[in-house]
Chains A and B, each alone.
Chain A
Amino acid sequence: MAETSKVLDVAGVSKRFGDIEVLSDVSFQVDKGETICVLGPSGSGKSTLLRCINWLERPDAGQIYLNGERIGINNAGIVMGDRELSKIRTRIGMVFQHFALWPHLTVLQNLMEAPVQVQKRPKAEVYDEALALLAKVGLSDKRDAFPAKLSGGQKQRVGIARALAMRPDLLLFDEPTSALDPELVGEVLVVMRDLAREGMTMVIVTHEMAFARDAATRVLFLDRGRAVETGSPDRFFSNPETERARQFLQRYAGDTANNKR
């Protein structure tokens, strides 16, 4: 199947909830080291698309490949069971809008839980790596704190470090800054920018237009469940091809002018 540089290949994915078609025939590919920002009005299916990639939501149609390996459907052509699905999910990290840290575990334990329990890597090695990750997201002093004691921005940085601790091939971000107070958004975006620079392969659903503009290698614009437009952020923001994208960007330009961050 796909050439080696292609980390993610989404082909014709559709999903409906009851009568509503949330995604219809969405296709896109992500090369190694790319940062794709998925943009679009709320209700356009961005989060659902992200959740279909790691099969938190089961797509109704279409195929998804991670490094050429089909997600969700095994070689025999049947839907993967919990074990098979869990195995492939270890290679896809996910960062949640509301952080979804495990509150009964400390910051360090949140990071070490899956590498030790799921990947069965030696504790000492995972420990060293977790400390390095915490240093990277600037939270070394919070290693023994419980999530409840952290600010939103700190929680989300732990969320990112937790995903990275699995050494994933691909990172998915589901509106990582939408639940944050405006003054805390910056510290999370800094971490994400660093990851982009280091060549982490990422798909980011976001409403942070400035971030998308300068950190994304490519932008995917969704509207009413369809992939309407894709291309470089420069072209998308300065000269969008479709009327829908133009309207969307105009509304955002208005919003940011009204409440400057």
Chain B
Amino acid sequence: MSGGDIAAIFQGAIVTVTLSFIGILIGLPIGLGLALLRWANVPFAAKVVTLYVSILRATPLVTLLLLLFFALPNIGVPINPISAAILALVMNTSAFNCEVWRSALMNFPKDQYEAAQSVGMTAEQRFRRIVLPQIVRVSLPGLVNEMSLLIKVTPVLAVVGVVDITRAAVRIGAQTYEPLPPFLVAVALYAPIVFALVSLQRWIERRQVAAEAAA
């Protein structure tokens, strides 16, 4: 395995990280938005969200990706592999995030919300100042869990031609007839990516605990 091969796997790592990051960044707020529609029981929209989440959770990511990539052009929407990959990741992760957010919302104490109403906070203030900071905290472990799953599911994006870490390793193995080294590099690369994410979570949690201990 040459230095160029290793560079190719690192190239794949950039793709993996970038696509995961974009998927997380877009999927997180969309999941929250969907959860809020259900929580507030918005007529019609709440039902649509329920259906959306059920379907997305029941659809394998590969199948969804293939559907988007091959079917959208058929109905006149041209789509490139990267866009299809991002769209599939966002749709998939937003459905799972929705459920994590929703469980935090459902467990939010009613009287705390009423206390916010009673001092005259508007719906927007109640959500931003009182509800959101608390559900972020409760949801964090579940959300990070979903994020790490998303990172590890990115190899399926190769089915539409995206060259991520795993795909790059497969290519090198096929060229050199020595699959062991590239796959070892690949495996070694996923760990620090996920570990960085988990470290971020730990750091946020520690900061909260420290703030309370100082009080």
List residues of chain A with CB under 8 Å of any chain B CB.
Answer: 54, 56, 82-83, 86-90, 92-94, 96-98, 100-104, 106, 113-114, 117-119, 144-146, 148-149, 162-163, 166
Other-chain residue from B119, B123, B133, B215 in contact with A89 (beta carbon distance below 8 A): B119
Inter-subunit contact A114/B112 (CB<8 Å): no
Other-chain residue from B112, B123, B129, B215 in contact with A117 (beta carbon distance below 8 A): B129
Cα(A89)–Cα(B120), bound, Å: 5
Cα(A118)–Cα(B133), bound, Å: 18
Inter-subunit contact A102/B137 (CB<8 Å): no
Query: Given known contacts A104-B137, A106-B215, A114-B121, what 12 new A-B pairs fall within 8 Å (CB)?
Result: A86-B120, A89-B117, A96-B114, A96-B115, A98-B111, A100-B112, A102-B112, A103-B134, A117-B121, A146-B212, A148-B212, A163-B119
Quick one: closest B residue to A97, CB to CB? Answer: B111
Inter-subunit contact A100/B121 (CB<8 Å): no
- Complex interface: chain B residues within 8 A of A146 (CB): 212, 215
7 closest Cβ pairs, A-B complex: A90-B120, A114-B119, A100-B115, A94-B118, A100-B111, A89-B120, A86-B120
Inter-subunit contact B115/A89 (CB<8 Å): no
Q: Tell me the B119-138 residues at the A interface (CB within 8 Å).
A: 119-123, 125, 129-130, 133-134, 137
Inter-subunit contact B118/A56 (CB<8 Å): yes
Q: How many B residues, CB 8 Å from partner?
A: 21
Other-chain residue from B114, B125, B137 in contact with A100 (beta carbon distance below 8 A): B114
Other-chain residue from B109, B111, B119, B123 in contact with A118 (beta carbon distance below 8 A): B119
Q: Can you name 25 A-B pairs with beta carbons within 8 Å?
A: A54-B117, A56-B117, A82-B122, A83-B122, A86-B117, A86-B121, A87-B120, A89-B118, A90-B119, A92-B118, A100-B112, A100-B114, A101-B115, A102-B112, A102-B115, A102-B134, A103-B112, A104-B137, A106-B215, A114-B121, A118-B119, A144-B215, A146-B215, A148-B212, A166-B120
Cα(A96)–Cα(B121), bound, Å: 16
Residue among A54, A114, A144 with the highest chain B CB neighbour number at 10 A:
A114
Cα(A43)–Cα(B120), bound, Å: 28
Cα(A97)–Cα(B110), bound, Å: 12
Given known A-B contacts A100-B111, A102-B115, A82 and B120 have beta carbons under 8 A apart: no
Inter-subunit contact A114/B120 (CB<8 Å): yes
Inter-subunit contact B123/A166 (CB<8 Å): no
Cα(A117)–Cα(B125), bound, Å: 8
- Complex interface: chain B residues within 8 A of A117 (CB): 121, 125, 129
Quick one: closest B residue to A98, CB to CB? Answer: B111
Q: Tell me the B84-124 residues at the A interface (CB within 8 Å).
A: 109, 111-112, 114-123
Other-chain residue from B117, B118, B134 in contact with A93 (beta carbon distance below 8 A): B118
